[in-house]
Structure 1
Amino acid sequence: MKNSVATATIRVVLADDHDLVRSGIKALLTMVDGVEVVAEARDGRELVTLVESLRPDLVMTDISMPGMDGIAAIAEIRARMPEVRMLVLSMYDTVDFVKRAVASGACGYLMKDAPPFELEQSIRSVMATGTYFSPVIAQRLLQPSEPSASDELTDRQLEILKLIAQGKASKEIAFDLGLSSKTVDVHRARIMERLKLNDIASLTRYAVRKGLVNP
């Protein structure tokens, strides 16, 4: 039985670039008493526009989306509308992603494979206490921190690594940065040496894990 005392509906804007995933999450949310999905976005830019227009109570967003990603959208929403609470719903559980999300303005982080009851639990917790981290994420955050990418590489090496992870060849990187192809190759060799990685695929996985590029 519902409480006889009326409670305000929690208005949610949901963002995920996969229609099927977004529809599934919305279906679960419609079963939560007192929660209403007022709009859906497929990317970060659309999310920011909808939040600015609708001023919801809560944003639930994925991180990896085309164009403006979830992290950038969270930062922009926080800057413009700090009263809106933001909960990340992601398949990525690395500490780097969580810390980036929180630093940008997220107040909670939930895994996409979490049981349905945790979806409601996360919303109630974020609205009541201001934070929620799923158990697996909380456990990750308690573990000793790995060195950040900036701890391991120079600014120039980070710049080159991002371009490598985007699939660019040495000649393209050289053109973009105003360097010679030979200089780019030397930087790449030093990056691999510092990180103890032996191929481009491993460098790309490292860049994604450290949040240097979108998954």
Structure 2
Amino acid sequence: MINIVLADDHVLVRDGIKALLEDQSGLMVVDEASNGKEALEIVAKNKPDVLIIDIRMPEMNGIEAVAEINKRHKDVRTLMLSMHDSEEYVVKSIKAGADGYLLKGASKEEFLKAVNKVASGGKYFTGDVSSIIMNNFVSGNTVSFEDSKPAVKELSVKLTKRERQVLSLVLELKNNKDIAEELKISKRTAEVHRFNLMKKLEATNLQELTIKANEYQLV
């Protein structure tokens, strides 16, 4: 049994990940955290096999938390789960000691593959960033950072193919049930995609989402 701790400041995201993980035999979510400091306390208490942690959280961000966990609990494997695929974030995560880096838009199959790979002692870095970032890191071509905190906002927003499909339907005023039926996914998955879109575009309602989608030329 692989014991897992989840750390993300959004309950909906944690619920979706937990449901996905516990639907698989051999995986168990033993506890959850809503920020980096809480993650440190919970890891110290539970000694999980794997910590799955978001980057941008209050109190202490995921990269800072992973750096501390790598110092205090070297047996705990860490998987960064982020919506950002920038070189800066990935290299900072590697330098902090993360064992993997996965995008929130990853498929169910890739997500489970990453968790099992990290839990078994391997490394997993998602898609296009893996070869570029790892090659740069191994060769010593590191990125310079002004501080230890992630950038507040990126100049562009990158969405997965599925997120673009969901966004298009959301802007057509479709509800989660309709989106799930049209894309042949579960209602919970549709809810998670909608939530991730709102977070990526830093929107709090449909009007703001529409404005941001047009601003970033996503539709």
**RMSD (Å) for aligned C-alpha atoms:** 2.5
Q: In the alignment, is the contact (CA less than 8 A) between 1:109 and 1:137 conserved in 2?
A: no
Match of 1:66 in 2: 58
Match of 1:102 in 2: 94
Match of 2:194 in 1: none
Match of 1:85 in 2: 77
> Taking structure 1 as reference, are residues 94 and 29 closer, same or farther at Cα in structure 2, changes over 3 Å only?
same
TM-score when normalising by structure 2 = 0.62
Match of 2:42 in 1: 50
Match of 2:30 in 1: 38
> Taking structure 1 as reference, are residues 10 and 112 closer, same or farther at Cα in structure 2, changes over 3 Å only?
same
User: Which amino acid in 1 is paired with 2:130?
Assistant: A
Q: In the alignment, is the contact (CA less than 8 A) between 2:77 and 2:121 conserved in 1?
A: no
More displaced stretch, 133-142 vs 53-62: 133-142
Match of 2:128 in 1: 136
Equivalent positions of 1:1-215 (< 5 A) are 9-141=1-133, 148-149=143-144, 158=146, 205=154
More displaced stretch, 111-120 vs 130-139: 130-139
In the alignment, structure 1 segments of 5+ residues that lack a partner are 1-8, 151-157, 167-203, 207-214
- CA separation in 1, counterparts of 2:84 and 2:30? 26
CA shift at 1:126, angstroms? 1.1
Q: In the alignment, is the contact (CA less than 8 A) between 2:136 and 2:142 conserved in 1?
A: no
- CA separation in 2, counterparts of 1:72 and 1:118? 25
CA shift at 1:108, angstroms? 0.4
TM-score when normalising by structure 1 = 0.64
Q: In the alignment, is the contact (CA less than 8 A) between 2:91 and 2:143 conserved in 1?
A: no
User: Which amino acid in 2 is paired with 1:33?
Assistant: S
In the alignment, structure 2 segments of 5+ residues that lack a partner are 156-201, 203-219
User: Which amino acid in 2 is paired with 1:47?
Assistant: A
